[in-house]
Structure 1
Amino acid sequence: MSLTIQLQTMLSMLAMGACLGASLDTYGKLTYQPRSFSWVVAIRDFLFWCVHALLIFYVLYQSNMGELRFYVFAALLCGYATYRALLQSVFNYLLDRLIALVVGIIRFIKKSLYYMFIKPIKWILYLISSFCMIVLTIVWKICLVLFSFVWKPVWWLIRPIVRWINGTKQWQRVKPFLIKIKEVGRSVWKKKDTR
């Protein structure tokens, strides 16, 4: 292996060590880490490390055809340590600002969609429901008026029959029973109203 390839490998592994440190910080900020054990978190962490291991091996393969030497691990550790010592505070500051910016944009989009689509739809539905209630109330009152116009002549026609039925003995026997049913119905209705 030539000196140029070794130097290229060391520089790429230094960069990968720094990228690993930045990825760990980003992963820690973007994911929830519960205190108790969770299989979901364990699988997610395992996949995180598998992806980074494959990425590091891919960069190593591009540098020196995948030959593992001691200086490869030393360069990775040096890159990670350099990130922790020099770049971590700056990266975390920029990452926090980026996360706040993205969250602000998402909130702005949600509010814009709400005021552009959802609120007008709610307002239109409220207008439609109010209009329907007005129409139903008018129709109900018209029906009551029409019923009263129809009922009065009918009542004048059947009034003698009702008086005759009231005078019969059979009606006098049935009438107390019907009055009792009426009183029971009223008491049940009052109990429902009090609830």
Structure 2
Amino acid sequence: MTLNVQFMTMIVMIISGFYLGIIQETFRRFKPHWKDNRFLVYFMEVAFWLSQVLLVFYVLFLVNAGELRFYVFLALFLGFSIYQAVAAPLYKWLLEHIIRIVVTCYRFVERLIQILIITPIKYMIKLFVTIVLLIVQFIMTLLLFVAKVIFFPIKWIFYTIYRLLPRNIQNFFHKLAGFYSTIKNIGKKGMKYLKFKRR
């Protein structure tokens, strides 16, 4: 390698070491979120360091075609040490502020979506269900009223005829009336259920 390439390699590796300090600090900051899952801890550690090694080697490949020399590791260590000595406290403070801003923005957007989209949809669904129940209740009430109007004179005629019938036939119609009463009670319970759901 020429001196120019070696010099560029050292500068780039110092910057890469500084970058490793930053990215490692960021990784450690988010590590508590998955520390309870041992498998995820191992997976994230391996994936993180493998990706960073490949990234640094790719940068080295772009600079000097991937030639590894002792001073490359020294330059990386120097860049990492510069970060730890000079920039670590400032970056930690900056990282916490960035996280706080991102979390605040996320909560604001989440609340905005809740207010502008989710809540109106819930109210619209609730209103639709209420209207449907009201319509069903109105139709059932109307049908019951019509049935009473239609069957009242018929009931009176049948009652008059019933009083003139023999006892055994009266017993048969008495059982039939019990079945009608059961159906009527089921209808009343259905109406009460619809009223309860509407509330």
TM-score normalised by length of structure 2? 0.76
Aligned to 1:117: 117
Aligned to 1:37: 38
Aligned to 1:193: none
Aligned to 1:26: 26
Structure 1: runs of 5 or more not aligned = 187-195
Superposition deviation, residue 172 in structure 1: 6.0
SS of 1:73 mapped into structure 2: helix
Which is worse superposed, 13-22 or 26-35?
26-35
When residues 134 and 173 of structure 1 are mapped into structure 2, their CA distance, relative to the original with a 3 A threshold, is: closer
When residues 117 and 173 of structure 1 are mapped into structure 2, their CA distance, relative to the original with a 3 A threshold, is: closer
Identical counterparts, % of pairs: 28
Structure 2: runs of 5 or more not aligned = 186-199
| Number of positions where the alignment pairs a residue of Structure 1 with one of Structure 2 | 178
Q: How does 1:147-186 map to 2 (within 5 A)?
A: 147-164=147-164, 168-169=167-168
Deviations 1:129-156 (A, max 9, x none): 2222322232222222211111211112
When residues 78 and 55 of structure 1 are mapped into structure 2, their CA distance, relative to the original with a 3 A threshold, is: same
TM-score normalised by length of structure 1? 0.78
Superposition deviation, residue 95 in structure 1: 1.2
Aligned to 1:17: 17
RMSD (CA atoms): 2.7
Distance 2:105 2:45 in 1: 28
When residues 33 and 169 of structure 1 are mapped into structure 2, their CA distance, relative to the original with a 3 A threshold, is: closer
